[in-house]
Structure 1
Amino acid sequence: MVRNIGVAPRLAEALGIVLGTEEIPLRLRAWDGSEAGPVDAPVIEFRSRRGLRRMLWSPNQLGLSRAYVAGDIDGGGNLFEGFSALSSVGKFAELKAFRPPTLGERMRLVRTAVLVGALGLPPAPPPEEMNVTRWGRKHSKERDAAAISHHYDVGNEFYALVLGRSMVYSCAVWEDETIGLDAAQETKLDLVCRKLGLRPGLRVLDVGCGWGSFALHAAQNYGVDVVGVTLSKEQADFARKRVCDAGLADRIEIRVQDYRDVHDGPFDAISSIGMAEHVGESQINDYASKLYSLLPPGGRLLNHAISWNAGEMPPDPDSFIPRYVFPDGEMLSLTVMIGALEASGLEVLDVEALRRHYALTLRAWVRNLEENWDEAVRLTSEGRARVWRLYMASSALGFERGLNGVNQVLVQRPGGEHSPLRRREWM
């Protein structure tokens, strides 16, 4: 008589094949109540056979992500613990795109699915997934607009829950870990203003202006006039209302416009905060040249962007982030970014790395989401809330491990006023 060992040990074997490791640093709990793995390890719960079926048809990061977004598996109360455990083993530790299973490994996955009654047709992807191959040429204006809408037009109320009062969706600058998210974001906005040398009467372009936070801070505190451009209609509506409520409609203009269509320069200064990640390596030289053309001699550009720090890694359009979070988004290395800025004719004045600051920012956003979970689900969907929780938690660990960085690169168009001798101007 064959002893029934339960589903969980078989799931552990299947998950090990997908992850590329024989040692699973997780406690697996299956839908039949069985468990397997170290008793004191973070718990992953497979709620249904469909979770294993997703792994069978997509034995990679995408299959696991789909299972989590759909609610087929759950990470328990603390995603950070589970990700931390996974980051040291198998394909997660190799920092490479997932190696497809061999034919023998695939047969073992099929056998496991048969044994636990999970064999079947591939489940439909969760509705939150976006297939980027449906649109036209990559980084065309139409495709970029669709990608931005997918990420940002999910509801201003939802973003307010996650981002807090500041409504800033980029890395904050923390004096220490206790000052709080809103204060850290205000510190960042002010730092950008000082680096740009803003003063009354200057005209500023804010590329990727989001919900208008930088434009408002710069106009209110430095007396400048600001043009903010975004491709998100929901962001623009929200920003315009904030501008009107602040009585600054004569000083701040918010446009739904591609930065490539801005032709009314020059601007004395340009801020690009968390926008260059959407440009793509194929377009980064044109991006830098366009911003150069909008500056007068001596005009400054502050480019604040995430970077990929872990060496060469080919883009994987079938991984979680491109499918669910940032379609067509690309993290470029600092070397590539500075190279493009310099090739356009811009002169580098300063580079500041803020990697640890982004880890703190992301953890704060995750706390906000988890503390307002029921409301976040009501405003969007459980799947959408799961997407944001998964991407922000995993990204926080990526910054803590040094896989990702974020850098403020301050450049100027040569000529005009001399640059400061020391950083005292903005420190």
Structure 2
Amino acid sequence: MADIALRLTALAKELLGAPFPVRVRAWDGSESGPPDTPVLVVRHRRALRRLLWRPGELGLARAWVAGEIDVDGDLYAALELLAGFLWERGPDTDTAAVHPLLDPRMRTAARGLLQLGGALPPPAPPAEEVRRRTGPLHTKRRDKEAISHHYDVGNDFYELVLGPSMVYSCAYWDDAGTLEDAQRDKLDLVCRKLALAQGDRLLDVGCGWGSMAIHAAREHGAQVTGVTLSREQATYARKRIAEEGLTDRIEIRVQDYRDVMDGPYDAISSIGMAEHVGEVRYREYADKLLTLLRPGGRLLNHQIARRPEQDESAYEVDEFIDRYVFPDGELAPLGRTVTTLEAAGFEVRDVEAIREHYARTLRVWVANLEADWPRAVRLTSPGRARVWRLYMAACALAFERNRIGVNQILAVKTPPNGVSGVPLRARAWHG
């Protein structure tokens, strides 16, 4: 078992058909691989058993969350170097080239992993993992459980990551120098796209910790109803609203958007919420929001989008994200979202892509997490903190490399007379 790192890199080279792109440090202290790169630290042989029993991304994710593997050095650089091995696929790449552990050569790899990792039963998944669910997708009960998994992990933890703005969606980096300024500018941009005026009724779907509701009421005089499935978010939002003296203008409900019955509203904001809706419910989502708007009312749908597949039937939900981050979350291509909104009866008036803004936002969140790492671990768990660090860093790179995007879609419930109320001058809300 001497010089385990050398054996690991040799095994990886056999699988990849090329040298492993980062240096490896094994649990025996040995190192092997290219110098001057981040170091993949394999702290325990149990990580190899995870790969043996669950080859590919999920096995690696379980080892990461359990603390059995780590990166010494720049996490972004390590993910960039490992991207082709972990995630990237193109129209001319086959499964074996992208996921070499699924190649027939896995038989050889299995022998090597078995020899190094030991012939023991598969390790139990980390406690932070959501087990495989059964039954219909996106029922009200199942959605509530999924939202609780992601958002009810402690408001103090989210304060540490998100900063004072407490906005968990893409900021808008126009002239802003800080995250707080950029988040304020994003909220104000949404309000201006919705043309909010004094006394307008706004429904904020997926209201989070109340930041949009507070901004719309305080800066634009709106009467706001915010709905969330997270009790922790609702408690936090109500406290902030009371401190701002806005309880007469804002109501926060723990309520599924499908149960909102007190329309019509002048405007609806849905910021970073539609990713939870799912393909099977998206038309229902669009239909419901349309019925809640008055004629001429506006919807601002701020949503992450994935790139379309050449064969959409081949699309698979990311296992790490599904098991550890957003259970049952689904991303749709932008075109499908626009088509569904139009099919429901909306007139789509503007689409603004802000992909690069999210990459920058995520990098700031990761920096916040890393800067106060011991406290982040205390507030949640070592595994949960590791989940957030990996998923936010990987998402930052995904936005930068155009694997995913984020868009603000302005849609109007245009009345029969065709008067949309949208200004003739394109994007007047930008000034």
Q: TM-score range by the shorter chain?
A: over 0.9
Listed one character per residue, the Cα deviations across residues 241-283 of structure 1 (whole Å, up to 9, x for unaligned) are: 1111111111100000000001110000000000000011111
Indicate the residue corresponding to 2:426 in structure 1: 423
Structure-2 change in CA distance of 1:426 and 1:102 (3 Å): closer
- How far, CA to CA, are the matches of 2:338 and 2:300 in structure 1? 12
Give the stretch that moved more between structures: 322-331 or 178-187: 178-187
2:141 partner SS: helix
Listed one character per residue, the Cα deviations across residues 167-221 of structure 1 (whole Å, up to 9, x for unaligned) are: 0000000015x71111000000000000000010100000000000000000000
Contact between 1:310 and 1:403, CA under 8 Å: does it hold in 2?
Answer: no
Contact between 2:56 and 2:102, CA under 8 Å: does it hold in 1?
Answer: no
- How far, CA to CA, are the matches of 1:130 and 1:215 in structure 2? 31
- How far, CA to CA, are the matches of 2:237 and 2:323 in structure 1? 27
- How far, CA to CA, are the matches of 1:74 and 1:120 in structure 2? 22
Deviation at 1:9, TM superposition (A): 2.2
Structure-2 change in CA distance of 1:406 and 1:102 (3 Å): closer
Deviation at 1:118, TM superposition (A): 2.8
Query: Share of identical aligned residues, percent?
Result: 56
Contact between 2:226 and 2:251, CA under 8 Å: does it hold in 1?
Answer: yes
Indicate the residue corresponding to 1:223 in structure 2: 221
Amino acid at match of 2:275: E
- How far, CA to CA, are the matches of 1:197 and 1:283 in structure 2? 28
Deviation at 1:157, TM superposition (A): 0.3
Indicate the residue corresponding to 2:71 in structure 1: 75
- How far, CA to CA, are the matches of 2:395 and 2:81 in structure 1? 15
Deviation at 1:422, TM superposition (A): 1.5
Tell me whether 1:28 sits opposite 2:27 in the alignment: no
Structure-2 change in CA distance of 1:50 and 1:195 (3 Å): same
- After the TM superposition, which residues 47-196 of structure 1 pair with which residues of structure 2 at under 5 Å, given as runs? 47-87=43-83, 89-90=84-85, 92-94=87-89, 99=99, 101=101, 104-133=104-133, 136-176=135-175, 179-196=177-194
Amino acid at match of 1:214: M
Residue 263 of structure 2 is aligned with which of 258, 262, 265? 265
Amino acid at match of 2:170: C
Deviation at 1:104, TM superposition (A): 4.4
Indicate the residue corresponding to 2:276 in structure 1: 278
Amino acid at match of 2:30: S
Structure-2 change in CA distance of 1:190 and 1:103 (3 Å): closer
Listed one character per residue, the Cα deviations across residues 54-78 of structure 1 (whole Å, up to 9, x for unaligned) are: 1111111000011011000001232
1:129 partner SS: coil
Amino acid at match of 1:160: E
Indicate the residue corresponding to 1:37 in structure 2: 33
Amino acid at match of 2:299: L
- After the TM superposition, which residues 182-331 of structure 1 pair with which residues of structure 2 at under 5 Å, given as runs? 182-309=180-307, 311-312=309-310, 314-316=314-316, 319-331=319-331
Indicate the residue corresponding to 1:380 in structure 2: 380
Indicate the residue corresponding to 2:5 in structure 1: 8
Give the stretch that moved more between structures: 167-176 or 7-16: 7-16
- How far, CA to CA, are the matches of 2:48 and 2:85 in structure 1? 19
Amino acid at match of 2:60: L
Structure-2 change in CA distance of 1:91 and 1:336 (3 Å): same
Give the stretch that moved more between structures: 303-312 or 202-211: 303-312
- How far, CA to CA, are the matches of 1:232 and 1:37 in structure 2? 46
Give the stretch that moved more between structures: 5-14 or 374-383: 5-14
1:426 partner SS: helix
Question: Any unmatched runs of 5+ in structure 1?
Answer: none
1:299 partner SS: strand
Structure-2 change in CA distance of 1:17 and 1:234 (3 Å): farther
Listed one character per residue, the Cα deviations across residues 272-301 of structure 1 (whole Å, up to 9, x for unaligned) are: 000000011111111111101111110000
Contact between 1:212 and 1:239, CA under 8 Å: does it hold in 2?
Answer: yes
Deviation at 1:311, TM superposition (A): 2.9
- How far, CA to CA, are the matches of 1:192 and 1:291 in structure 2? 17
Q: Report the aligned-residue RMSD.
A: 1.9
TM-score (ref. length: structure 2)? 0.93
- How far, CA to CA, are the matches of 2:333 and 2:63 in structure 1? 31
Contact between 2:193 and 2:410, CA under 8 Å: does it hold in 1?
Answer: yes
1:211 partner SS: coil
Give the stretch that moved more between structures: 100-109 or 5-14: 100-109
2:349 partner SS: strand
1:301 partner SS: strand
Deviation at 1:117, TM superposition (A): 4.8
Indicate the residue corresponding to 1:339 in structure 2: 339
- How far, CA to CA, are the matches of 2:309 and 2:110 in structure 1? 35
Deviation at 1:33, TM superposition (A): 1.4
- How far, CA to CA, are the matches of 1:182 and 1:17 in structure 2? 48
TM-score (ref. length: structure 1)? 0.94
Deviation at 1:120, TM superposition (A): 1.4
Contact between 1:59 and 1:100, CA under 8 Å: does it hold in 2?
Answer: no
Count, aligned residues: 420
Deviation at 1:100, TM superposition (A): 7.2
- How far, CA to CA, are the matches of 2:317 and 2:336 in structure 1? 21
- How far, CA to CA, are the matches of 1:70 and 1:129 in structure 2? 10
Structure-2 change in CA distance of 1:426 and 1:16 (3 Å): farther
Deviation at 1:315, TM superposition (A): 4.5
Contact between 1:62 and 1:318, CA under 8 Å: does it hold in 2?
Answer: no
